[in-house]
Amino acid sequence: MCGIVGLIGHWAPELLGQLNQSLYHRGPDDGGEYRDQQGGVALAMRRLSILDLSGGHQPMSNHDGSVWIVFNGEIYNAPELRSRLEAKGVHFKTSHSDTECLLHLYEAYGEAMLAELNGMFAFVIYDRERKQIFGARDRFGIKPLYYTQTANHFAFASELKTLLQLPTVERHLNLQSLYHYLSLRYIPGADSIFKGIQRLPPAHSFRYRLEPQDFTIERYWQPDPSPTETHSIAEWSEMIRHELRGAVKRWALSDVPIGCSLSGGIDSTAIVGLLAEAGYERLSTYSLGFQKAEEADWNELPLARQMAERWGTQHYELLLTPDDLLRDLVRMVWSLDEPYGGGLPSWYIFQFMSRDVKVGLTGTGGDELFGNYGKWCHYENRLSRLGHPLHSMRDRIKRSASHLPELLLGADRKKRWLEYYRTFRFPMDAYFLYFSDATKRRYLSEVSGITDTADWLQTLYQTSGATEIRNGTALVDLQTQLPEEFLLMTDRFSMAHSLEARVPFLDAQLVDRVLSIPTSLRTHPNDLKYLLKQAVSDLLPAPLLTARKRGFIIPDTLWLRDKLRPLVERLLAPDRLARQGILRPEIYSRFVQPHLSGKADYTGQVWTLLMFQLWHVVFIEQASVEAPSFSWQDLV
């Protein structure tokens, strides 16, 4: 795992080293630089050594130095790809470096190499003979890649905070991104929170030609929204078990010890069970919980403990308190790069794991493959209430996909899929749109030229190509919440502690197989993961199969009114909001005051606002270029 950075154009000579140093936490084991003065290209990286510990130094070149690469991630089918290349006569200098495998794949297939890769990656290749830069991000956005360009300069990096050190970048808020953040508690899409800095979207590649200066982006993969294979539930269950076993084996590839994040959910426990079944000895598992009685609804330690006992893992538990959160909150905001209003416990799990191991497997991605948190259930329930049996609806869709808008939207064209995109599986009712578009337009100081988040998501749904509500919901999530909430948080929090977090459920081969299952079989309204459970039930203690979904979150409703209250009152005070000029001061009386007094529950709204204000202090008011030294007490 690494941090990568590159500069194209004429920059101050010392800048590359400065930017590379900002990524030290992503790779404390090794570092390197490459400069082509004539071509105006400079590449650098920091390395966390996981595979081929002695032979994977970067930047790495091919045999004649005409092609150079910096690479962040792991290619889990690299052994197979290496064998194929060797059969073609390719000679490797390293024993088993996946970085060198990427170099030779590029030489053999060019940009078509991306179709061969199974793993998590963000890499950039400099081809001196073609005078171009070629880069790509993995299918699901597991690994990040930011870039910025002007008429004469181009730069990229693994983290946004690195690019903020460039003299060409100014810290101006992208109000469209802020608008989406207030809707979703994360920022979706290609735009970052700052004007002039973009993200390369998942499953996309870019090409930057040096002469003439030309930048283009292409999508190289997208999921198939129309499953066609037909098998029985028993057959599908067996296939899932087979593919998941293969994925876990591939993603456990490492020359250093690995550990597993273990909650009381199906996804992480399935990974632990499959690793234990495969014979991984002295497997370490790590779980987080809460100690107070009123926090019991968030506590999964008893379930995780049962799984650890079932397989005899070396199990470690950590109890989280409000004081822990307050101690690390500013560091979390710095590590995240962008405003984020979701849950924070993963910070402590990765911190906990990093004391013992460099690699940690997690269950991220399982929810997106099997049920999407039930976000589509309200829509299907509505159809049932209106007298449209689901099987009848599916038959009508298969007969006439051209009438999909009428089938999905109903007679009233103003009724949108989005209005029913919600979950009842968590404490909150609506799983997003914490501030409605009408609310944001009322309380944001400037909204001219802004696209409503609801309209933006609706467009993604309508252009997904899906012919069923469940597939359409999954395809939207694969482009939004999965990469830019869950995977962004996973990457930043794990790399802040120099830990490589791996997500076997997003194995390319496994995902292709799962998405080929008809949605009516893949998930069920009353038991979203029933098919996955059937595939791994013999590996898990019985109570885990019937436990309710909790979500890996903190009890922020309680904490906002207690330990965090002084911070809320300070950062969301009306006079501060007035001076800031972004949010209207009335938002305090509308949401903050009623929540703190206990007259209403606006947990989602207040937490979203608080996390934005903390981010604003760190990245705008303090204009930090290194990890802040101040604490939350200094802010209060």
Residue 470, classed as helix, strand or coil, is helix
How much is the pLDDT for 421?
56
Reported as a single tens digit per residue, the pLDDT across 297-354 is 556 788 899 999 999 999 999 988 778 877 899 999 999 999 999 888 899 999 999 9
CATH architecture label of 2-219: 4-Layer Sandwich (3.60)
The mean-pLDDT minimum among 126-140, 258-272, 434-448, 581-595 falls in 434-448
Res. 88: pLDDT tops 90: yes
Reported as a single tens digit per residue, the pLDDT across 602-625 is 988 999 999 999 999 999 999 999
For residue 463, give every residue at least 6 positions away whose Cβ sits within 8 Å of its Cβ, in sequence order, or none: none
Query: What 8-state DSSP symbol labels residue 583?
Result: B
Integer CA distances (angstroms), 537 to 117, 244, 545, in order: 31, 13, 7
Domain ranges of the chain: 2-219, 233-370+482-546, 373-479, 556-635
Fold annotation for 233-370+482-546: Rossmann fold (3.40.50)
Helix, strand, coil % over all residues of the chain, rounded to 5: 45, 15, 40
Amino acid identity of residue 470, one-letter, is R
Q: What angle do CA 364, 156, 139 make, to 5 degrees?
A: 30
Q: What is the mean pLDDT of residues 242-269?
A: 93
98 is in an annotated binding site: yes
How much is the pLDDT for 144?
98
Reported as a single tens digit per residue, the pLDDT across 357-373 is 999 999 999 988 987 77
- Average pLDDT across the chain, whole number: 87
Percent above pLDDT 70 for the chain: 88
Percent above pLDDT 90 for the chain: 63
Confidence of residue 448 (pLDDT cuts 50, 70, 90): confident
Question: Does residue 260 have an active-site annotation?
Answer: no
Q: What is the mean pLDDT of residues 446-464?
A: 87
Reported as a single tens digit per residue, the pLDDT across 577-588 is 999 999 999 999
- Could you please report the per-residue DSSP string of 65-129? SSEEEEEEEEETTHHHHHHHHHHTTPPPSSSS-HHHHHHHHHHHHGGGGGGG--EEEEEEEEETT
How much is the pLDDT for 358?
94
Confidence of residue 425 (pLDDT cuts 50, 70, 90): very low
Confidence of residue 415 (pLDDT cuts 50, 70, 90): very low
How much is the pLDDT for 344?
87
Integer CA distances (angstroms), 570 to 182, 263, 612, 633, in order: 20, 34, 13, 11
How much is the pLDDT for 381?
54
Reported as a single tens digit per residue, the pLDDT across 20-77 is 999 999 999 999 999 999 999 999 999 998 877 778 899 999 999 999 999 999 999 9
How much is the pLDDT for 430?
42
Q: Do the Cβ atoms of 306 and 544 come closer than 8 Å?
A: yes
Maximum mean pLDDT: which of 40-54, 141-155, 268-282, 548-562 = 141-155
Q: Do the Cβ atoms of 565 and 285 come closer than 8 Å?
A: no
Res. 409: pLDDT tops 50: no
How much is the pLDDT for 442?
87
Catalytic residue among 2, 101, 260, 377: 2
Res. 213: pLDDT tops 80: yes
Q: How far from chain centre, in Å, is Cα 539?
A: 27
Pick from 413, 411, 432, 410: nearest CA to 421: 432
How much is the pLDDT for 557?
73
How much is the pLDDT for 188?
96
The dihedrals phi and psi of 512, each to the nearest 5 degrees, come to -60, -40
Reported as a single tens digit per residue, the pLDDT across 384-397 is 444 444 444 343 33
